A and B are shown apart, each in its own frame.
Chain A
Amino acid sequence: MCGIAGLFIKQRSLEPQLGELLTKMTSTLCGRGPDSAGFAIYGAGERSKTKLTIAGPSASYDIGAAAERLKRDVAPKATVSVRYSHAVITLDDADLPKVEAWLGANLPEVNIVSAGRRLEIFKEVGYPDDVAKNFGIAEMSGTHGITHTRMATESAVTTDGAHPFSTGTDQCLVHNGSLSNHASLRRTLRRDGIKIKTENDSEVAAGYLTRQMRDGQSLGEALKSGLNDLDGFFTFVVGTESGFGVIRDPIACKPAVMAETGDYVAFASEYKSLTGLPGIASAKVWEPKPATPYFWERD
């Protein structure tokens, strides 16, 4: 099953409510994916700074202490902000390779959940309402965000098996469905230099899009080529620093409904999730067509 929700804000005055609206949308999807949940939020960013979101192997891990150790040893100018089991470290772009190497050598149990100018990802095992509350997602503001509630099929119920997955700077993906060629594609992508950390099929889809965009495709083009290269069933919602995209496989067995007003574009697995959005009664509501990429870019 699994549930997906996404919100792309067009009207800037709505940005402070991003987290609150996403939390409400996700809450209606608890039944579709009760084992874990995750939130990708595109918030404020600073020029030549990278936000690195890190997490330990489980929620009980002391990520604050790990982040402080990192700051002390390798990035003294960085700022650290802890949200429940994750820490966001804001550092100079130039320090990123050094920090990644240090983490690998000193805290191999710590996972880099995302890296980007504006993207932060928070995901954890647990009932989605609890996960949202623990991370304080409702207080977060931003331009766009995507969320996921997971009913695990292809890999274990762990923090790093939860969605969203990020395999490239400011990129993330959530998936409803399952892929059958993920093992062979994972090997190919790793050979092509894409970092894929888990045995999860959805992370492979994220890595695939990262490679396609690295090699010059736009988000829309990458989604389109995925139709030929990804074998399985899927509804994907993907985020980039400036964009938001949706694609369904040609059979479109996984549900999807979208709504658009002058203020926002919203995606959800079920209409129920859209009912709390402002102006939904007069929104344009439709189901994305199979095998058709949809994407929106910010100016």
Chain B
Amino acid sequence: MPKLIKGVGCPYCGSSCDDIEVLVSDDETKILEVHNACIIGTNLFHHANDATRPKLPRMRQPDGSMKEIPYDEAIDWMAKTMLKAKKPLIYGFGSTNCEGMSAVGRIAEKSGAVLDNCATICHGPSFLAIFDNGYPSCTLGEAKNRADVVVFWGCNPMHAHPRHTSRYSIFPRGYFTQKGQMQRTVLCIDPRETDTAKLADHHLMLDQGHDYELFDAFRTVLRGFEIPETVAGIPREKIKESVEIMKKAKFCMIFFGMGCTHTDGRNHNIDHAISLTRDLNNHTKCSIMAMRGHYNIAGPGQVWSWQFGFPYCIDLSKGSHAHMNPGETSSVDLAMRDEVDCFVNVGTDAGAHFPIQAVQHLKKHPFITIDPNFCMASEIADLHIPVRIAGVDEPGVVYRMDNVPIQFRAVIKGLPGVPSDEELFDRVYERMCELTNTQPIWLAAKEHRKYPHNPVVS
């Protein structure tokens, strides 16, 4: 009898929907049906059925081909390579669980590595703004239950976070918003007429790259000063009208995305957006939230903040203390300057996302990819180590875009012999300790945890 598993978390976007229902085969090895998820999420679950999923590490051979090797050999090679490197870079983690992020901290400390996550190429500017200006935010339930004005600035959830609008922001009937969409006024600020803009009550189609000026105009109006006839291509009256809507809201919610962090102004745009939120709190209640991309990209920011004090761009190579200086210790900048001599790509695809020059530099040195699937980073790697898929065949904690921890479950059994990220990192760490003749340090989390050691595929 196939089993229907309810309340499953989705390993796709930052909405981290946990209302998915998955029908699995009797032996819990195949996913048969996926309900409630968006089309992308559905496909991610079905991916796990792919018979061609890698089951063994693959090592690049002198002739350029890839050859399957046992896990122990891959772990040994990774441990030795990282210890040998002066400054390895460990990057990724958008799509894995927090247990893996925590475990990688040991390896990073041991090898004196730089730890970085996908925020470095997406919401990194938001972090910079938060460092400067704080982050008046809330959980998504607050937005759902209370927000009567919702602003989407430089983001397009209809495509990037397909269920965001139905679960949290536009359509749902919340506790104090029983009429759903009827009760909400939606503003969209975007240079394109996106599908989100089409849904909005007001679309402010600003000139591309002029977000900073428009934020500035909003704040100026809010503080009671005059602004020019048009700002960023938007007429004065439209700006005034929009500000009035936000000011009169009972609860105003601002969501922002890559359209703010990756146009001119970058972190300064976010800085201004946060200040606007703060200013609005002198009139009503207002919250702001970054539309984080992946289902657990908020995770490394959390885990590494409690371990090292910084969310990203963490240089541990000094050994004595952690050091963060985006621009200096950020992945792309390090790669562009050819400053790292070993690269570990985990749960993301630097091969697809980094500038080609950066990848070319990284390729000069040992390049390790840890990913359940084949991707560009796995195909150019010297060593590809497959792991389980967090949220599909491996449980674990993930942080939703609002930093709410959601405990994902595994819906099917993992491939035999394939470890989780955490288990893999722990084995690499143990090997490193063996090689350096030191005692591994496990804290409480580890002491009592014995992995069900899968029999290695012969």
Task: Say whether A associates with B.
Answer: no
